[in-house]
């Protein structure tokens, strides 16, 4: 017989050891999972560790408050509801001051705010025309009354503004054409087609405003300035290369538009020698026939021949569910994949087993350097492994995916899985001006607070910024990364010095 005291001790000790074994296994699993996360390989310096404490304290305050009071968690709401509110937070302001590397997924005339676009309507020689119900608008620059077809009649913009009797109200109404932001998006944008229709209306309304050559040049130059202010070092801009026009009746084709991009970029780099400038991805619309695609390819090859240091590749754009599937163009694209680098949109859809998500297969076998969006990749485990093996980076646009109805709550964005499994990803912003976002700060903030694990820290956002450099087409990546590290050190030191 064991003494009663020994029996009691054994009874107490044995469960304790079992509990410890369970805790040890839990700790091991937890640490192994964290080790799979994007950024895990980064070792933080002493200064970075101090900065990380400050950043994580702010992050945890926001998340923990939202966990207790879910209705207060901004990032779970529609972007339009919280985009201005979060800019007041210390965490957002820190992220805004952070060097963000490169933006590799951004579209020509969707990048600047509606307030900026409104200023363009004060340029001389601008004519305007509305439909009778004022629901649609057209613009045209001309020395005389335009001959373009107009629903009512053309008016000089400055005369229409003056005759309104209330310039402030006139401009407020005009501004609505330059944004898709509204007060009740969930009621109006009931599905993806509804919001994409409004999104496309923006480009249709503003097309002739932006394609005035002096405006196009100014808009692009000011885009580079705004992205630089948001701590973006380098840009790869996608453009449809629309024909441009001037007051003398001259029309400039896609090749001349590409030359405009190159010329303005060179001017910007002279004015801001600390910038690494920009390069061009020719990205025409995908809802076309094969003959049109072949013309696109001809233009792309010609541009590559005359400006090999500026044109970096080719893409096809538009709403994926309504566009022509890549497999319809597989012959034409396969024929030139050894001559053109592809940066193809694919998987920007919620569907599974359709032509939309299966564009991912075609993009990969065509040798795409990066995948635009890749939202649906989460449903294709084999392709996820291929993307990792082939080091094909996903250009993820979190705010865009929320606004354009792919995901209602960013916490459910597939990027969370990509980050947890160290899939090659980078952040970008798509068309931030159209939904009144910052060039990159909002996307970093929403990812850090609303998508990534509560445990994801400074290493994650540093790695995401570095990934945008590693997967860019910039020829001297060592130089780019060296400059980033210098700016990053300065950023860290400012945090540690209690600027926040």
Six token digits for residue 329: 């163009």
Six token digits for residue 271: 């004015």
Phi then psi for residue 353, to 5 deg, are: 80, 25
E strand or H helix at 310: none
Q: Strand, coil or helix: what is 106?
A: strand
- Distance, CA of 341 to chain centre: 20
Please compute, for residue 351, the number of CA atoms within 13 A of its CA located in the half-sphere on the CB side: 14
CA dist., res. 105 & res. 2, Å (int): 74
DSSP sequence for 122-178: TSTTEEEEE-TTSS-EEEEE-SS---S--SS--EEHHHHHHHTS-HHHHHHHHHGGG
Beta strands 343-346; 370-373: pairing state: parallel
Alpha helices in 325-432, H assignment, sequence order: 330-336, 359-365, 381-390, 398-403, 415-420
- Distance, CA of 26 to chain centre: 37
- Catalytic residue chosen out of the listed positions 105, 345, 373, 380: 373
From the CB of residue 41, how many other CB atoms can be counted at a distance below 10 Å?
Answer: 10
Active site residue 72: no
Is the sign of the CA dihedral 257, 262, 267, 268 positive or negative? positive
- Catalytic residue chosen out of the listed positions 48, 62, 320, 348: 348
From 219, 266, 38, select the one nearest 121 (Cα to Cα). 219
Q: Strand, coil or helix: what is 430?
A: strand
CA dist., res. 41 & res. 467, Å (int): 13
Burial category of 354 from C-beta neighbours within 10 Å (exposed 0-12, middle 13-18, buried 19 and up): middle
CA dist., res. 213 & res. 60, Å (int): 48
Active site residue 373: yes
CA dist., res. 186 & res. 246, Å (int): 40
Beta bridge mates, 234 = 102
Phi then psi for residue 266, to 5 deg, are: -65, -40
CA dist., res. 16 & res. 273, Å (int): 65
Q: Strand, coil or helix: what is 480?
A: helix
Q: Strand, coil or helix: what is 33?
A: helix
DSSP 325: P
Give me the active site residues, please: 348, 373
């Amino acid at each position: 017989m064991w003494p009663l005291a020994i029996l009691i001790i054994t009874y107490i000790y044995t469960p304790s050891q079992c509990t410890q074994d369970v805790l040890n296994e839990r700790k091991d699993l937890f640490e192994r999972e964290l080790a799979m996360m994007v950024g895990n390989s980064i070792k933080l310096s002493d200064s970075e560790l101090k900065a990380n404490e400050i950043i994580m304290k702010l992050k945890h305050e926001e998340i923990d408050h939202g966990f207790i009071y879910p209705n207060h968690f901004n990032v779970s709401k529609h972007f339009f509801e919280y985009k201005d509110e979060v800019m007041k937070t210390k965490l957002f302001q820190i992220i805004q001051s952070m060097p963000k590397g490169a933006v590799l997924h951004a579209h020509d005339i969707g990048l600047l705010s509606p307030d900026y676009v409104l200023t363009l309507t004060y340029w001389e020689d601008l004519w305007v025309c509305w439909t009778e119900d004022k629901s649609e608008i057209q613009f045209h620059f001309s020395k005389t009354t335009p001959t373009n077809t107009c629903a009512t009649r053309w008016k000089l913009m400055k005369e229409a503004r003056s005759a309104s009797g209330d310039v402030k109200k006139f401009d407020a109404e005009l501004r609505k054409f330059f944004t898709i932001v509204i007060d009740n998006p969930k009621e109006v944008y009931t599905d993806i087609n509804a919001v994409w229709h409004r999104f496309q209306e923006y480009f249709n309304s503003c097309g002739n405003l932006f394609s005035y050559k002096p405006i196009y040049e100014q808009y692009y130059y000011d885009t580079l300035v705004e992205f630089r202010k948001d701590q973006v070092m380098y840009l790869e801009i996608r453009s449809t290369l629309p024909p441009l026009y001037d007051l003398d009746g001259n029309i400039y084709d896609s090749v001349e538009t590409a030359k405009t991009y190159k010329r303005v970029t060179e001017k910007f780099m002279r004015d801001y020698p600390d910038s690494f400038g920009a390069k061009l991805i020719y990205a025409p619309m995908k809802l076309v026939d094969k003959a049109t695609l072949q013309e696109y390819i001809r233009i792309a090859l010609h541009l590559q021949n005359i400006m090999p240091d500026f044109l970096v590749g080719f893409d096809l754009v538009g709403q994926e569910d309504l566009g022509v599937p890549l497999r319809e163009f597989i012959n034409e694209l396969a024929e030139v994949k050894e001559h053109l680098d592809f940066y193809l949109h694919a998987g920007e859809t919620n569907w599974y087993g359709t032509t939309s998500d299966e564009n991912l297969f075609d993009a990969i076998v065509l040798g795409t350097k990066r995948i635009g969006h890749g939202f649906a990749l989460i449903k294709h485990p084999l392709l996820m492994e291929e993307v990792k093996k082939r080091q094909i980076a996903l250009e993820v646009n979190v705010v865009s995916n929320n606004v354009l109805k792919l995901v209602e709550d960013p916490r459910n964005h597939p990027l969370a899985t990509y980050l947890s499994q160290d899939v090659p990803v980078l952040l970008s912003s798509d068309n931030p001006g159209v939904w009144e976002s910052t060039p990159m700060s909002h996307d970093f903030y929403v990812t850090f607070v609303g998508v990534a694990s509560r445990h994801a820290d400074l290493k994650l956002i540093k790695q995401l910024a570095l990934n945008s450099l590693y997967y860019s087409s910039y020829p001297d990546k060592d130089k780019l990364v060296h400059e980033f590290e210098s700016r990053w050190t300065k950023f860290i030191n400012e945090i540690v010095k209690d600027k926040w």
